[in-house]
Amino acid sequence: MIGRRAFLRRSGGTLAVGAAGAALGMGWTRSASADCTGATITDGVLSRFRSRIQGSVILPVDTQYATARLGFNRRFDPYPVIIVRAAGTADVARTIEFARTNGITLAIRSGGHSYIGASGGSGVVLDLSAMNSIASLGNGHFQIGAGAQLQQVYGALRCQENMTIPCGSCDTVGFGGIAQGGGFGYLQQAHGITLDRVRSARVVLADGTVVDASPEADADLFWAIRGAGGGSLGVVTDFTVEAVPYKTIHVIGWYWPLASAGEALDRFASLQESGAVPRSATVALVFNNGAASLAPAQCVCVLFSTGTLAEAEATKQLFVGPGGIRATPGLGFQYDADSPACDPHAVAQRDYYRAKSAIVYGQPAADTGDYLRYWLERRVADPMFSPSDSATVNFLTFGGAVSDVGPSDTAFPHRDALLEVQFLGYLQNPTTQSIRKNQAWIQGLYADVFPRLSVHGEGCYVNYCDDDLTEAQWTSRYWGANYPRLQVTKRRVDPADFFHGKQTIRL
Ligand SMILES: Cc1cc2nc3c(=O)[nH]c(=O)nc-3n(C[C@H](O)[C@H](O)[C@H](O)COP(=O)(O)OP(=O)(O)OC[C@H]3O[C@@H](n4cnc5c(N)ncnc54)[C@H](O)[C@@H]3O)c2cc1C
C-alpha cells in the first residue's frame, strides 16, 4: 500500500501538494518517475475508471473537493487523492478493485464522524453518503443504506411505519459507522444497542465478492460485523434491521452542583447497580465545565424514559427524592422528544475535539468524582481556554437489554458493563498552544480517572476510538476476549489486509 504523497512522488507528481496541503494540480499523473517501484496511474486508467462509476468521482481540481474531503472532526485535514461518491454496490466493488490494483490506500466513509479521522486519509476515499435509502420491508423490518444519517433513519422509520431504532444522539452520524461498532443511545436500556437490531448486512469484500451476511449465510462475518467497528473487514453497503415501535421519550433533566460530583456519581452508579432503574429509562450523568451554557461548571442528570410520565417522574425521585441528592432549585427541564437524537433542531457543524472513553464494569473508586471536579475546575481556571471551549464527561447507564446478549454472542464484548463514559474536550478556535493544552488536559484527566473507573475491569468503545491508545490497549479494550476470533475472520475475508487503517483488526 502507498499513501498519497508517496504515490504522487512515485508517479511524477503533476498533482502538487502545497505547504498548506492544498492539492491544486492541473491534471492527473502521467508515468512512473525514476524512483517508481510500484503502481502508476495514467490519465487513461483514471478515465476508464471514471466512466465505469455511476456515482461521482471527485478530484482535487473539482469544486466539490474542498468540502467533500472533510470529515466531522476539524482536528483532521485530509487530502485524499480521489473521492468516489458511490451510487451502489457495483461502484463500491469497482472502487475497491481500482484502489487494490493500483496500490492506493482506501478509506471508507459513511457519515465521516470517525474520532481518529479514519474515514479520510490520503488515498482513495469511498464515500457512501449517497447510498442512503431507507425502505420498509414490512413486518417492522427495514433496509438501511450505510450512508444514511441518523436523522434520516429516525425520520423514515417514524414516517413509514411509526417505528424507531435504538441508536445515537447525533443527527448527522452515519448509520454505516455507528451500527458496526455498537450504537449507544437513549433507548439502550429498553432495546439494546443498534447492532442488536441488525438482522443482516450486505458486505463487499476486498476481492469484490458481495456477501449477504446473516445468521444463515456467513454467520461468522455477521457475528464480526456487529462489533468490529467499521473499516476492517469489508464495505457494508446496506443493513437489514428490525425496528421497535415508536414511543414518546419523556426527557427530564436536573442539576447538581459540581461540589456534589462524588455523591452524584456514587448515587448514579449505585442505583444502576441495584437494578432500581427500570428498563424503560436510560439515564445520563454529564459533568461539564459550564462552557456550553456559559453557566458554572456543573453536573446535569438527564432521564430518557419511554414509560408513562408518572413512571418517569417516579424514576427521577430515585435520584433526587428521599435518600437521593437534592437537585439545584430553579434549574431543570422537561420535554418530550420524538426521536433518540439530542436535539432535532440542532444545526450540525463540524467541531474540533479530542475524545476518550471508558466502559465501567462496577462501582468506580470512591474518589472518582473528586478527580472529575478537579479537572473541570482546572480547565475553567486556565486562561488558555476560552469560555466557549467546552469539556464534558458523560456517563450513560448500561445494562437492561444490552446485557440480554452475551459478551461473545456478537463481536461487541461489553455486555456486562454498568456504565459507559465519554470524555470530550472541544476547542472553538484552536491555536497551536490551545491544541497542546487541550491534549494535555484530556490526557491528564484520563490518566487520573480511567483507572478509577476500571477497578472491576477495563474497556473502551470502538466507536469512540482514541489515537492515544497503544495497539495492545485498543485491541484488548475495544474487543476483549473477542479479538482472536475477529482476527480469524479478518484473515479469512481479507488475507492481504487490504482494509488496513489506524486501528483496524490486525492479521
Ligand atoms: C457528534 C458525534 C456524536 C456521536 N454520538 C454517538 C452516539 O450517540 N452513540 C454512539 O454510539 N456513537 C456516537 N458517536 C460515535 C459514532 O458512532 C462513531 O464516530 C461512528 O464510527 C461514526 O460513523 P460514521 O459513519 O459517521 O463515521 P465514518 O467516519 O464514516 O466511519 C467510521 C469508521 O467506520 C468505517 N466505515 C464507515 N462506513 C463504513 C461502511 N459502510 N463499511 C465499512 N466500514 C465503514 C470508516 O472507515 C471509519 O473507520 C458520535 C460521534 C460524533 C462525532
Domain with residue 258: its CATH number is 3.40.462.20
In a domain, 491, yes or no: no
| Domains: count for the chain | 3
Rounded Cα distance, 469 and 231, in Å: 18
- Whether residues 106 and 141 share a domain: the answer is no
Q: Whose CA is nearest to atom 28 of ligand 1?
A: 112
Rounded Cα distance, 281 and 262, in Å: 22
- Residue 35: its pLDDT value, please? 30
Domain that includes residue 435, residue range: 249-480
In a domain, 267, yes or no: yes
- Residue 298: its pLDDT value, please? 86
- Residue 344: its pLDDT value, please? 53
In a domain, 504, yes or no: no
- Whether residues 270 and 419 share a domain: the answer is yes
- Residue 96: its pLDDT value, please? 98
- Whether residues 240 and 350 share a domain: the answer is no
- Residue 42: its pLDDT value, please? 83
Rounded Cα distance, 488 and 249, in Å: 41
Q: Whose CA is nearest to atom 8 of ligand 1?
A: 168
In a domain, 329, yes or no: yes
- Whether residues 267 and 253 share a domain: the answer is yes
- Whether residues 341 and 364 share a domain: the answer is yes
- Whether residues 208 and 312 share a domain: the answer is no
Q: Which of 245, 262, 291 is the last residue of a domain?
A: 245
Measure 173 CA to ligand 1 centroid, in angstroms: 6
Query: 73, 349 in Cβ contact below 8 A?
Result: no
- Residue 343: its pLDDT value, please? 59
Measure 446 CA to ligand 1 centroid, in angstroms: 22
- Whether residues 52 and 151 share a domain: the answer is no
- Whether residues 280 and 369 share a domain: the answer is yes
> Which cell numbers in the block locate residue 325?
441528592
CATH number of the domain that 66 lies in?
3.30.43.10
Residue ranges lining ligand 1, Cβ < 6 Å: 71-72, 107-115, 118-119, 128, 146, 168-170, 173-174, 176-178, 181-185, 230-231, 235-236, 463, 501
What are residue 374's phi and psi, to 5 degrees?
-55, -45
In a domain, 382, yes or no: yes
Q: Give the count of beta carbons closer than 10 Å to the beta carbon of residue 396.
A: 22
Q: Which residues pair with 174 in a beta bridge?
A: 149
pLDDT beneath 70, residues of the chain: 1-40, 292-295, 342-348
Measure 168 CA to ligand 1 centroid, in angstroms: 10
Cβ-proximal residues to 333 (8 Å cutoff; 6+ apart), any chain: 251, 252, 253
- Residue 43: its pLDDT value, please? 84
